[in-house]
Chain A
Amino acid sequence: MKKLLLLSLSAFAIWATGCKDEVDPKAVAKAAETKQLLAASKKDAIEVEKLNHDYKEMPDNRLFDNDGANGPVYRELQQRYKDQLGKLKKEVEERGSKFVVVLITPEVGREISNFSRYGNPFIRTTCQSMGIEFYDLSSAIAAQDPKVITQVPRDGHWSKKGAIFLADQLEPIIKKHLGHKTPDKFKDTERPETFGDLAPSTEEILDGGKDLPYKLKSNAQGLRMDHDVKFPKSKQHYLFLGGSQIYSPFLDNEFIATTILQSRYPDVEIMNAAMYAGCTDDFVSMWEEKAKYSEPDVVILQTNGTDITDLFFTNRNHLARSKKPYYPSPVEEKYFMESYRK
């Protein structure tokens, strides 16, 4: 009996040492992919650092120094903007979602900057030529008193009254598309953890160094909202993409335009994936990586003239969310060198 027990134990030991853990091929592939991504991002980070060292960030407004909007650089940036807008439109509409562009400038009152002077007409014609549903709020904003709708003199972003004004301006767009639904859905396993770039489930006070403290609250999905978006979805989803005009710094969540719209339309989901600083390049990458998985039925993109100039390569290397290197085109390189030689 003892011998039998010993034999069995030996046999088990031999079998056990010969055994290997069952390997999930998907996990192996994922690990390899992560490793590759990490290596690539490390390489990218080194390249970005090198580029930032070689080419210091050039102020956007200097792009108009020579020929205003007629310079070759600005024309190249316009083309880049057009391509990215077209790409975003295509990807949004392929999913069956409605794509809407809203021009919201930070310029209140009579003064107008070169960004708007040259950028706004271009954006308008580009959207028209691409058949994008387009709303230009710049005239309505310009007609307002900056002291009422913004936080001047400390900052040019929306005041509480300004956010209500913005919500009033955006409301017709929401109303117009009530009922539009996309059939396209993602599986739970496909969805990333977040749909926006904010750290998920945080509540903190920020002030942007301007002594204008505000409470930033993000939901579990990294969006500037007080509640989480539920799946499978039971409501129509509106997704806002854009920059600080929609993100609305220096206001608590409860006072920003998207929260106001949410309270006016409780039967739809208004999602705010806007970022403090960004341009179309960032909006496209955000859409592809995260935002599309929120299954929006309507995508409202906020844009303005700075989204064109922000595509200059030095700006991208300093500010882009992708953290990938942006090499200068020959035109950009020439312009950069000439500008700094002066």
Chain B
Amino acid sequence: MLFNTTDFAVFFAIVLAAYWLLYKWRNMQNLVLLAGSWYFYNNLHWSFPLYLLGMIIVGYTVGRAIHSQELQKTRKAILISGICLLGFGLTYLKYSGLILGNITGLSQWQSSALHILVPLGISYYTFASIGYITDVYRRRLPAATNPLTYATYISFFPHLLSGPIPSATNVLPQFSRSNKLTFQQIEQSVAEILWGLFKKMVIAANVEKVVNYCYASYEDLNGSTLFLGVTLFNLYLYADFSAYSEIARGVARLLGIDIAQNFKMPFFSRNPGEFWRRWHTSLRKWMLDYLYLPLGGNRGSKVQYVLVMLFIFSFSGLWHGANMTFVCWGLLNGIYFLPYILTDKLTRYKDVVASGRLFPSGKEFLQLLLTFNLITLTRIFFRAPNMTVVKGLVVKIFSASILAVPMALVVKNVLICLPMLAFEWVQREKAYVLELSKTNIYIRIAGYVAVVVLIYIFHKRQNLSEYYYFKF
């Protein structure tokens, strides 16, 4: 059941109505959410809720056990055991091929050999569970006493399959307090859902096949076409993933739950550091809280700092998949950080680019262009199925054929993405893209209707492809 389907619309309408009818009874509301979430997950495969249940039991029990102990050593021992237990499922299901596949005598035990399905979204709820027990250990929040509340938090369908990875400290308490919905919140939710649908159904769905074509037919295409194809993938990935995150955020808010904003218009970044503060922010925050800081962060020497950063990016690459291409993707992103770390310029640019102006300065424009293209190059590794394809793409892109005339179809598809970027550029200082709150209500409604009309006219029919980030 994908967000952009009528099945989901019907499902959500039922859950929403039942949820708000029971607004006086928080536990009943949670029960509705839990039942809805499990139904949603069960729709993908009957076995998936079983993994989820296991994860909930382990996370809840470990959280309670840590909370009940005062002795730091014991708390730490329980935490480490909990992380190992929670991480085992993810490691086995996603990485047993990499680990056991190369060991004689053990390869028959890898998950694929045993025909075990990897549940969609397992990375997200594993990370959410690990985050929760670590926060309990750090005494950032008390362990959940009500298993229903905890189970609802982990299973919450808007963030179950593709994040944003919830921060237990911020999100879990929202499931135990009564909530209400203001008109402003409804409007923001609808606006975010509409913009998400526009990006998924009009942009991502229309350009997806051309992206696939460029990567599949790289041997037959010239360098300029391939460069545009990789650029198109960069734009597609943003449209697809940010669409899911925005719809999830809008849907969650309509249920009275505020979840993190996963994308903050990342293509308007002046260096890779700023890009990563705006792209997939929930994963970045998770890495920051539970890996970067425990590893020392930037508190040691520069060499240590660089090594920590390279490790974090390699880990991020491996999180995406047990493939050398993802490791290289992570490392390349880490390498981009080096000049900025060495010159202490990594944390620059915390404001919005060209604030208060319609156009960027020449310098800002060049910075935006450079950052966008550096990130685009990393997408060669991110999308290619193996290193042979990576090599083929790199050789073609950095050859004389980069000056050849690109395929018109690819150019046309890149142009399809430009209105999305242009509108986001104009709205870049707003809290969310379709924020029109200072204008007259009728103008706002006309704006939302216009987006609906655009979706209706230009959406790619019969395209029910999954969201790209489900696979991670």
Contact = CB atoms under 8 A, between A and B. Distances in A.
Contact of B212 (A203, A211, A252): A211
B459 to A, nearest CB: 16
Interface stretch (A114-122, A136-144, A168-176, A212-220): A212-220
Contacts of A252: 217, 220
Interface in A181-221: 203-207, 211-215
Contacts of B216: 211-213
B217 A203 contact: no
Nearest to B219: A160
A213 B216 CA distance: 7
B210 interface: yes
A252 to B, nearest CB: 7
Nearest to A211: B212
Contacts of B217: 213-215, 252
A10 B367 CA distance: 77
Nearest to B212: A213
A222 B213 CA distance: 22
Contacts of A215: 213, 217, 409
A213 B217 CA distance: 8
Contacts, number: 30
Interface string B395-415: 000000000000011000000
B213 A205 contact: yes
A211 B220 CA distance: 17
B209 interface: yes
Contact of A203 (B209, B220, B408): B408
Nearest to B220: A252
B209 A213 contact: yes
A254 B216 CA distance: 16
Contacts of B408: 203
A203 B220 CA distance: 17
A316 B94 CA distance: 45
Interface residues on A, range: 10 to 19
A125 to B, nearest CB: 42
Contacts of A214: 213, 217
Contacts of A203: 408-409
B209 A207 contact: yes
Contacts of B209: 204-207, 213
A211 B209 CA distance: 9
Contacts of A255: 220
A206 B212 CA distance: 10
Interface string A14-32: 0000000000000000000
B409 A207 contact: no
B212 A204 contact: no
Contacts of B409: 203-205, 215
A255 B217 CA distance: 12
Contacts of B212: 205, 207, 211, 213
Nearest to A213: B213
A72 to B, nearest CB: 39
B203 to A, nearest CB: 15
Contacts of A204: 209, 409
A205 B213 CA distance: 7
Contacts of B210: 205
Contacts of B213: 205, 207, 213-215
A37 B212 CA distance: 41
Contacts of A213: 209, 212-213, 216-217
Interface string B194-224: 0000000000000001101100110010000
A255 B221 CA distance: 13
A78 B220 CA distance: 43
A211 to B, nearest CB: 7
A73 to B, nearest CB: 34
A215 B217 CA distance: 10
Contacts of A206: 209
A204 B409 CA distance: 7
A135 to B, nearest CB: 30
A162 B408 CA distance: 28
B392 to A, nearest CB: 15
Interface string A241-269: 00000000000101100000000000000
Choose among A203, A207, A215 the residue with the greatest number of B CB atoms under 10 Å from its CB: A215
Nearest to A215: B213
Contacts of A211: 212, 216
B394 to A, nearest CB: 21
Interface of B: 209-210, 212-213, 216-217, 220, 408-409
Given A204-B209, A205-B209, A212-B216, 15 more contacts: A203-B408, A204-B409, A205-B210, A207-B209, A207-B212, A211-B212, A213-B209, A213-B213, A213-B216, A213-B217, A214-B213, A214-B217, A215-B217, A215-B409, A252-B217
15 contacts: A203-B409, A204-B209, A205-B210, A205-B212, A205-B213, A205-B409, A206-B209, A207-B209, A211-B212, A212-B216, A213-B209, A213-B217, A214-B217, A215-B217, A252-B217
10 shortest A-B CB distances, which residue pairs?
A213-B213, A205-B209, A205-B213, A213-B212, A205-B210, A213-B216, A203-B409, A213-B209, A207-B209, A215-B213
